[in-house]
Structure 1
Amino acid sequence: MDASATTPAPRLIEGLLGLPGLGRLARLLLASPFLGSGFGKLLDFPGATAEAAGLGLRPAMLVAACVILVQLGGSALFLTRRWCWLGAGLLAGFTIVATLIAHPFWQFAGLDRVRQTATFLEHMAIVGGFVAAALLVHGRPVR
């Protein structure tokens, strides 16, 4: 049997997967935390600057502006078909860096380590979602 062969989905699932706009909706859902965060930071720039400073990032104002640009710009690109790959790359890269900074699970012990590890892995799952979405939008199989 061919290793790339897949088991056919039940008719109901095939119908759902064939719904018009489902791919765009899936990308919108995947980008929604970044859109919400980006708009929130844009509307409260002093708070965004304080957040960056609280994480030890300097110059905090420039970091906050770059975060907003990546979150909103990356999301906008990710929602297009032509530039989905670029938006996915920006958001995935941002997520990796932000997660390493904000959730260093290896520095914790006990229950805090378990929580930080779970959050870290959840963020890495989002990175995987960006990769899978970019592959699918650009006609590449997800293997």
Structure 2
Amino acid sequence: MAERFLGAKWVEAVARLAVAVPFLISGAAKILDFRGSIAEVRGLTGLEPAAFFAVLVIVTQLGGSVSLIAGGRFVWIGALALAGFTTIATLSAHAFWLKPEAEQFLHRNIFFEHVSIVGGLVLLAILTFKPARTQH
């Protein structure tokens, strides 16, 4: 029964959608409030030009999400892009060891939840990576 369920194409598609949805929603929200996105980049990372990096975040979130949802041979690229983004964002926003003591509990939990997300994305990349066949 497990083999039949886990082998069903629709289960894989729903799982990829579930992984992509938070990034898709976040990217869309960043477009709708682009000024807020710029402020977020500036506040969390100090990177300038903040507008450029905000666009880069949006492209990564939406492009990675589309790659996961579309399926096919390049899912692994979207998964790795989102894993890289999540790693950078987590280190920037949730470095609990740098937070005031009152905030450490919250940021420690968020940090390790994001570690789990990165692990899942890397696992998705591993499971979907299909190297080009070399011709002899």
Q: TM-score range by the shorter chain?
A: 0.7 to 0.9
Provide the residue aligned with 2:54 in structure 1.
Answer: 64
Task: Measure the CA separation in 2 of the matches of 1:61 and 1:91.
Answer: 19
With over 3 angstroms needed to count, the CA separation of the structure-2 counterparts of 1:71 and 1:105, relative to structure 1, is same
Task: Point out which structure has higher relative CO (alpha carbons under 8 A, 6+ apart).
Answer: 2
Q: Matched residue of 1:115: which SS?
A: helix
What is the aligned-residue RMSD (CA, Å)?
Answer: 1.7
> 5+ unaligned residues in a row in structure 1: which ranges?
1-10
The structure whose Rg is larger is: 1
Counting helix residues as a fraction of each chain, which structure ranks higher? 2
Provide the residue aligned with 1:90 in structure 2.
Answer: 81
Task: Measure the CA separation in 1 of the matches of 2:41 and 2:126.
Answer: 32
The sequence identity of aligned pairs, in percent, is: 46
Task: Measure the CA separation in 2 of the matches of 1:91 and 1:20.
Answer: 23
Provide the residue aligned with 1:131 in structure 2.
Answer: 122
> 5+ unaligned residues in a row in structure 2: which ranges?
131-136
Q: Give the paired residue count.
A: 128
What are the Cα deviations for residues 10-54 of structure 1, in whole angstroms up to 9, with x where unaligned? x3x334323331111111111111100001111221121121122
